[in-house]
Each structure stands twice: as structure tokens, then as C-alpha cells.
Structure 1
């Protein structure tokens, strides 16, 4: 096990890696369909997702799925944990070096809320927030502000008039939808079922747009 502060990367007996933050399970390398589905569902919502911001690196599976879409010209990953970026770059996570070396990838070590606040208007086509398991399952208590109106307004501005902001949640989050409806011209919660090794689950994408021109849902 590699431990740095509240971040832990564990090599399990089944041969898979498990990532935990502050003792909370974040993800592992055994079941990656949810991270990949998050990216593919979000990309399907925009006709031209050339520039994508991903809030949260994790073990890179969302980024991997974003890069699989040939329409994506640049993927910016904002990750608050420098050690996680280091583990990916140095091969502690075996697929990490090749993934982060991809020429379309830019990694920024920062709080995604700060990065969005400092981003010029219309910097991205899609802003994809996968920092926690949703607003009801925070990795850090301070992340709660990311799901409130000021941070979501920063995300709206960074996505511009024709951009899409997508927030992933492991459970239905009506309070988040209510706030997004105040910030965006259009907001909707989209459920999607997923099979987790034979167990049916329903996850949610909360989608906000500043105009109706790019909506495909």
C-alpha cells in the first residue's frame, strides 16, 4: 500500500488497485465501467466536444474514455492531489504514464473550483465534474461548495454560451438539480442504469446548459 496524507493506493490480493481518499473508497481497477460511462454519456450530449475539462483524475478511466472520442482535441484534467498525478506519471498506476503522455492531455494540479473561477469565458465545450461520488458522498467536506451556485456559475461561464456542464452522482440529488436550475437556462437530471458485476445500479448525470442550441437530450 502507498499512503500519502489522506490518499492511499492499495494493491489488493485480487491483483487490482484500489484508491481511497480520507478512508473513503473512490474507485478501483476492477470495475471501471462507471467512469467510462460517465465520459461517453457526457460526450453524447454535445455535438462538438473539442475541449473537455475533467474535474478529478481518479485512476484515469474517465480521461481514457474521453480520449477515445476522436472529436476531442484537448482534455484538461484538474486534480487537487499532486501525489495522485505523480503515481500516474511514474507508473505506480501501470497505465498512467502512457495516458498522461498523450499529446491532447493537459494536467493541472489545483482545486477544480479555483480552476473554473480563473478560467476565461468559453474555455471549454464540456465541463465534467467527477470530484466526489456526488454531492451526498463528499471525499472532502470542502467539496460541498462545488455543488453550490457560485461554483456552478463559474462552470457555466467557463463552458460559454454553447457549452455543457455535467456533474456525476452515484445517487439522485434533487437539491443539486434545484441549484443548477437557478444557474443554467436548462438543467436536467438524467438517470442511467448500469450493471456492476451482475448488480443493477442507477447513477445520475446532472446536465446544465446556458442555451438550448446544443441540447441533444
Structure 2
């Protein structure tokens, strides 16, 4: 593939090999991520795992270019990772090496890939299946690439995420911008909630991204109004 070639697929998914040597992923013409700035994807994993004393079982909603998964796998406490990705071609690019670091990540024996809608997977998961659930399927509730993803930030889907998470576990949602309405909804679902901001430098431009965290009490009983 040349430095200017792009791959376009149904639904508008595009993987571009740029002239600067980096890969860029777009969906419906909207920039999603690239391989030049990966700190946000890694921070989702590292900061989320820091919030749990023993994150043995992890679910990641959204494969992207694999950097959240890569960061999760560097934590020696993690025994099993389920990655849910709705775009089968993105998984194919990772497995085939079109995304060069993909094969090693997906070949890790701890990794299981599900090509599906993460909202469906959470709804159908066994109760208490995961210690940590990381949701990074879009740019946040205010900057949707796919309108259908909006439901993932609402109470029914978040309640499904809670049901799939073990007592003492956490559900962490990534957002490109501050989302007070999301924090309010999460406060209705989880025992305690918190919005965590972190600064990033995007090719010389300062930005602030957000992690919205929902905690389950060790007893697993929701208080329904635990916003911190």
C-alpha cells in the first residue's frame, strides 16, 4: 500500500497509510484515531485498571487500532480480555497484519474477540462476568460517529454493563469532551461515579479528554444516587 492510499469499506470505514508513515482510521469521514497519538487509548486502560485492586477479567468495547488492548495486556493481573468490535473488517485488518501490530495482539492467548455490538454483548453476558468494563466505541455522547451508539450512554445499556460487572468492579466510559448528562445518568445506575479529566497533546494542540467511572459496591447493590 502506498503512503497516500486509503481503504474504504461499507459504512465508510477507512484505513489510510499516510505519507508520514502513520496509520489513520476514519469512520463516516470522521477522524477516529491514528498511530501517531496513542496516549488517549492507553490512558483509558491504564487509568481504569488502576481503579481496581484485581482486574482479572476485562471487557473492552471497541477494538480501534488495538492500543487500549495493548495497554490492558501489559498489566500482569489481567488473565482474560474480551474485545467487542462491531466492524468485522477492522478485526480482519488486525489479524492479517494490515495493521502491523495486530497479529501479535490478537494471538495472545488471553484475548477473545467478539464481532458484535457491545450493547448486545453486555445485555446477553452472564452476570458478574467482568471485573472492569471499558467502553470506547465512539467519541462520547456529544460527538457521535454513529448515531446508533447514543443508546450506549443511556441508562438501559449502562444498567446492562453494571449487570455484567462483578461486585467491586468498575465501568469506565471514554469521552472526547465533558459530558455532565452522562455523569448524571451513571449516577442513577452505579453506586459511585466520578468524572476524571486528563490532558493530552495532539500534535502540538492541548486537549482535555474524560473518563467517566461507575463503581459497584463490594455487595453489588445499587444505591442509585452515588455521584461523587
Q: Please report the TM-score for the alignment, with normalisation by the length of structure 2.
A: 0.91
Q: 1:61: Cα distance to partner?
A: 0.4
The residue aligned with 2:223 is none
What is the rounded CA distance, in whole Å, between the counterparts of 2:57 and 2:156 in structure 1? 22
**Contact (CA 8 Å) 2:167, 2:218: kept in 1 or not?**
no
Q: 1:192: Cα distance to partner?
A: 1.5
Q: Please report the TM-score for the alignment, with normalisation by the length of structure 1.
A: 0.96
The residue aligned with 1:149 is 155
1:56 paired to 2:62: yes
Q: 1:213: Cα distance to partner?
A: 7.9
2:86 to 80, 91, 96: 80
What is the rounded CA distance, in whole Å, between the counterparts of 2:210 and 2:109 in structure 1? 31
Counting only pairs closer than 5 Å after superposition, residues 178-193 of structure 1 correspond to structure 2 as 178-193=184-199
SS at match of 1:2: strand
The residue aligned with 1:39 is 45
The residue aligned with 1:71 is 77
Q: Structure 2 regions of 5+ residues with no counterpart?
A: 1-5, 221-227
What is the rounded CA distance, in whole Å, between the counterparts of 2:83 and 2:35 in structure 1? 19
Structure scoring higher RCO (CA < 8 A, sep ≥ 6) equals: 1
What is the rounded CA distance, in whole Å, between the counterparts of 1:206 and 1:35 in structure 2? 14
Q: Per-residue displacement from partner, 1:27-59 (whole Å, max 9, x unpaired)?
A: 001111111111101110100000100000000
Q: 1:99: Cα distance to partner?
A: 0.8
How many pairs were matched up?
215
Q: Per-residue displacement from partner, 1:144-165 (whole Å, max 9, x unpaired)?
A: 0000000000000101222100
1:2 to 7, 10, 16: 7
The structure 1 segments of at least 4 consecutive aligned residues displaced by more than 4 Å after TM superposition are none
What is the rounded CA distance, in whole Å, between the counterparts of 2:193 and 2:41 in structure 1? 22
**Contact (CA 8 Å) 1:177, 1:188: kept in 2 or not?**
yes
SS at match of 1:137: coil
Q: Structure 1 regions of 5+ residues with no counterpart?
A: none
**Contact (CA 8 Å) 1:186, 1:212: kept in 2 or not?**
no
Counting only pairs closer than 5 Å after superposition, residues 18-29 of structure 1 correspond to structure 2 as 18-29=24-35
What is the rounded CA distance, in whole Å, between the counterparts of 2:133 and 2:29 in structure 1? 27
**Contact (CA 8 Å) 2:167, 2:219: kept in 1 or not?**
no
What is the rounded CA distance, in whole Å, between the counterparts of 2:78 and 2:136 in structure 1? 18
Q: What is the root-mean-square deviation of aligned Cα atoms in Å?
A: 1.5
What is the rounded CA distance, in whole Å, between the counterparts of 1:213 and 1:40 in structure 2? 25
What is the rounded CA distance, in whole Å, between the counterparts of 1:197 and 1:27 in structure 2? 13
Q: 1:188: Cα distance to partner?
A: 1.1
**Contact (CA 8 Å) 1:56, 1:130: kept in 2 or not?**
yes
